[in-house]
Every structure is written in structure tokens, then in C-alpha cells.
Amino acid sequence: MRYYIHTFGCQMNVADSQRLASELERMGHHAATEADDADILVVNTCVVRQSAEDKAYNRLNMMNALKKENPDKVIGVMGCLVGVRDPLKLRKRLPYVDVFMPPSEPGPMVAFLRDRMSESEILALEAEARQQRDALQDGDLILPTHEQHNLITAHVPVVYGCSHACTFCIIPFRRGIERSRSVGEIVAHVRSLALQGVKEVTLLGQIVDRYGKDIPDGPDLADLLRIVHDVAEESGLERIRFLTSHPNWMTDKLLDTVAELPRVMPHIEVPVQAGDDEVLARMKRGYTADDYRKLIHRIRERIPHVAINTDIIVGFPGESDAQFMATYNLLAELKLDKAHLARYSPRPQTVSERTMADDVPDEEKRRRHQMLEDLQAQVVAEINQRYLGETVPVLVEEKHKGKWRGRTPQNKLVFFESEDNWHGKVVDLEITWTGPWSMQGRLPTAQHEDEPLIVITG
């Protein structure tokens, strides 16, 4: 049988889909490139914003149309739309769905498919799958055949769920309380990815810095990075990243570990969400704007050449123009490498939806969002310009529109031209052009007159 998984949302969802694909591959099923060609159809859903939830329903309706043509097709829905409780209301709304899977839980689909097969069919498919993957051990993650030795970067969850309920966030209600994976599971996951050609892993958690907090006397994230770094040296894995951090849990021990380990990239994602203390208190973030400012200075002091990314929500309930300008001024002052911007939208079950009026007009949210976008474009253009003429190591991920594309240790996107195959390799590039969203480079050994400058802005 062939399967097709459509994934919406965050990197954690991407990793969850990969885990489901691994279980299906272990059973002897194979990936299809189009939904029309698949026997098993899965939508991995996101509900962070209403638009994402609407897209999930639209995709499920499209799959229902395919099932009407062929009733033997299996449809599954996974992720935050399902949540961590029995989805009784969802079953009534989606009667054509065969399997409901909570976030990070492929088990229900595996059990459903096994129930439809005889024991001899299961054994035959599993034997065939094992023959094709002799290097991998039981419990290792298996990539689909088309991704093996083609996928360069991958995500590895280390903490599931979240126990810090910001007032705007639906994640704790959908993914449950935080649960740290064992070191053994994580090591097996990373090792199996490296064996299949992956060169960079990103360790994931809703608050990744809280790894191990639920394990008595267990390792923390800094300890885990050292262990994964040892695995990387043994397996040929080039780079390690982690996200997303929280200002309250980023310790000096963690920062010093990042600075010390050469395969851990100088790239930190630590959301501020707002630059006004009253707004931060209403968000239940647990720090002040000055706390965040001091953290940024500490990060820069301890990690040379670090890139720092942040998240910001505009138009949170009660946010005045003056409070928004505090966010604007903080962003202008700190000059961070990237800002993921979002307009506030209320989500059912969150504290902000139940207790706060969504009182900032949509037009005003859009104006504030645009102001921050324009500011950040100027800031990042200035930051990236510092790389002009520098030679930087770039991990090459793929060819895009005839040009190779890859990323620097700071996660800056770089394009370059070459007829050679650089896929999955680290190449030193001289930066010849910079913009706010990407850079252009060339091989230092190339003759400059033979290398036309091509400006790519996205």
C-alpha cells in the first residue's frame, strides 16, 4: 500500500509526520507523491491560528472526495486538531475519517492497519522492509526511500507538550503537559537520521530549554547537547541546532555549551512576543522587557558571532499604540537577525480568548505588523551586509531554480552557482551580495569574471 501525508504547521508537526511515515515504512508501505495515488491519506493538522485550522478542514474535504471514489482508502487525521483527548465532537464532524491520532502518536494508525491484515501479510511486509534497510536497527527512525540520502536537515523532538500556558497559546491544551524523551530514544533517532544521509538535526521542544525538567536527577539540555555532539562526531553529522527557547529557562550553562561545542551552531531562537511589560504580564510570559534585553546581551557576550531570532505578536488584547511602540523600539534597539511576526487571533480554550476582548481592530493589527516588517527588513539588511566579502561555511541543502542553496552556521540563506554536485556538503563561499532575506556567494577558487552576479531576494 502507498501512503500520503499532508503536513500543516510547525517543525514539531513535520517531525511527527516523519515518525508516522517511519512506522508505515516499517510495515512495508511506501510513500506516494500525490494524494490521488495513495491508499492511506493523512492530514497532520495545526490550530495555532484559525486560518491553519480552516486549511486542514479543506484538505480533509478533498481527501473525502477521493474516498467517495474509492471507499477502500484509509483517511487519518493527526495533530493539534485532534488534541490529547478523545475527539468525540471531531468524529461527528468528520464521519469519513477512519483514524484519529493525537500529536506525536502514530500508534492508532498502525493498530488500524494491522487489524485489516492477516498475520502472514504483516510478517511478509515487515521482512521485506527489514531486507531493504539492513543498516538500521529495531526502533530506529526510517525515512521514506525518496528521502534517504536526499534529506539534509531534519527535526528531532526532545520534549513533547508544554506546561507553561501563555494566555494566547492553545498548545498545552492540544499537546498536553511536557514529557521529555529518554536520551536513548533521542540518540537512536539522531543516529538513524545520520545513517540515512542527514547532515543537520534540530532538537525540538515547545520550550526546548526545559528538556529533562520532568525527569528526577535527569540531564538538562546542555547535557543532551554534549551527548548528541558525541553522536555527531561518530556518525558524520555536521550540525546541531535547537529550538524554541524561552527567556526564563536559558541558562549560562546552556550558552557556554553552545559556545564550546563546534557542531552546535551559534543560532538561538528566543521569542520576546512583546516589548511592553503590561502586555507581557497579560500574556503570562514571566519576564520583563528589560529581562529580555539583558538576556540578549548575555547571549552575545558568551557566543561569538551568534544569530538571534525572535517571535512577536502584534495586536494582543489591550495593546495600546504606546505599548506597541515599546515593542517597535525594543526591536530597533536589539537588532535581531530574524523576527517571526504574527497578528493576534483568539483561539478557543485559551485564557486570552475566555477573559480578554480582542479589541485591536484588524486594520490596526495589519498596520503594526507592516511597521515591524519594514523595520526588520532594514535591520537584517544591515546585519547581512557585514558578511559582504567574507568567506563562510555553507551546508548545501538542495538545488533551487538552477542554483545551489544552503545555510551558514547562523542559518542565513545563501545561493551560489556551480556545475559540481555540492548536495549535503559544507562548502566555503565568498559572499558577493547581501539582502535582507538571502545572500549570494561564489566559490573562492572561481574566476570572478566568469561568475556572473545573480541577485536573489527570496
Instruction: Provide the CATH number for the domain around residue 50.
Output: 3.40.50.12160
Burial of 450 (0-12, 13-18, 19+ CB in 10 A): exposed
Q: Are residues 42 and 83 in the same domain?
A: yes
Q: Are residues 298 and 378 in the same domain?
A: yes
Q: Are residues 11 and 114 in the same domain?
A: yes
Residue 80 resides in a domain: yes
pLDDT in tens, 221-263: 999 999 999 999 999 999 999 999 999 999 999 999 999 999 9
Instruction: With CA atoms as reference, report the closest residue to 181 among 208, 143, 153.
Output: 208
> Can you give the residue range of the structural domain that contains 20?
2-132
Q: Are residues 108 and 196 in the same domain?
A: no
Q: Where are the alpha helices (DSSP H) in 335-361?
A: 351-355
Q: What is the pLDDT of residue 144?
A: 85
Q: What is the pLDDT of residue 5?
A: 96
Sheet order of strands, 239-243 included? 153-157, 200-204, 239-243
Cell numbers 543532551: residue = 224
Q: Are residues 115 and 25 in the same domain?
A: yes
- The count of domains in the chain is 4
Pair 394, 426: CB distance under 8 Å: yes
DSSP count for the chain of H helices, then E strands: 14, 18
Cell numbers placing 270:
528566543
pTM for the full predicted model: 0.89
User: Alpha-carbon torsion 90, 94, 95, 101, what sign?
Assistant: negative
Neighbours of 144 (CB within 10 A): 20
Strand-pairing partners, residue 273, are 312
Q: Are residues 8 and 124 in the same domain?
A: yes
- For residues 172, 175, 178 and 181, what is the CA-based torsion angle, rounded to 10 degrees? -160
CB contact set of 158 (below 8 Å; sequence gap of 6+): 180, 181, 186, 203, 204, 205, 208, 211, 221, 224, 242
Query: Which of 132, 166, 181 is where one domain is finished?
Result: 132
CATH code of the domain covering residue 227: 3.30.750.210
CB contact set of 72 (below 8 Å; sequence gap of 6+): 39
CATH code of the domain covering residue 437: 2.40.50.140
Cell numbers 555549551: residue = 257
Residue 189 resides in a domain: yes
Q: What is the pLDDT of residue 131?
A: 59
Residue 321 resides in a domain: yes
Residue 144 resides in a domain: no
Q: Are residues 341 and 286 in the same domain?
A: yes
Query: Which of 102, 132, 162 is where one domain is finished?
Result: 132
Residue 138 resides in a domain: no
Q: Are residues 6 and 128 in the same domain?
A: yes
Residue 405 resides in a domain: yes
Q: Are residues 237 and 296 in the same domain?
A: no
**Cα distance between the two ends of the chain:** 38
Q: Which amino acid is at 392?
A: V
Q: Are residues 12 and 120 in the same domain?
A: yes
Residues of the chain with pLDDT under 50: 447-458
Q: Are residues 247 and 274 in the same domain?
A: no
Instruction: With CA atoms as reference, report the closest residue to 82 among 62, 67, 60.
Output: 60
CA-to-CA distance for 3 and 41, rounded, in angstroms? 6
Which DSSP string corresponds to 191-256? HHHHHTT--EEEEE-TTGGGTTTTSTT---HHHHHHHHHHHHHHHT--EEEEE---GGG--HHHHH
Q: What is the pLDDT of residue 148?
A: 83
Q: Are residues 261 and 276 in the same domain?
A: no
Query: Which of 265, 292, 309 is where one domain is finished?
Result: 265
Residue 76 resides in a domain: yes
Q: Which amino acid is at 223?
A: D
Residue 98 resides in a domain: yes
Give the phi and the psi of residue 347 in degrees, each rounded to 5: -120, 135
User: Alpha-carbon torsion 31, 204, 169, 350, what sign?
Assistant: positive
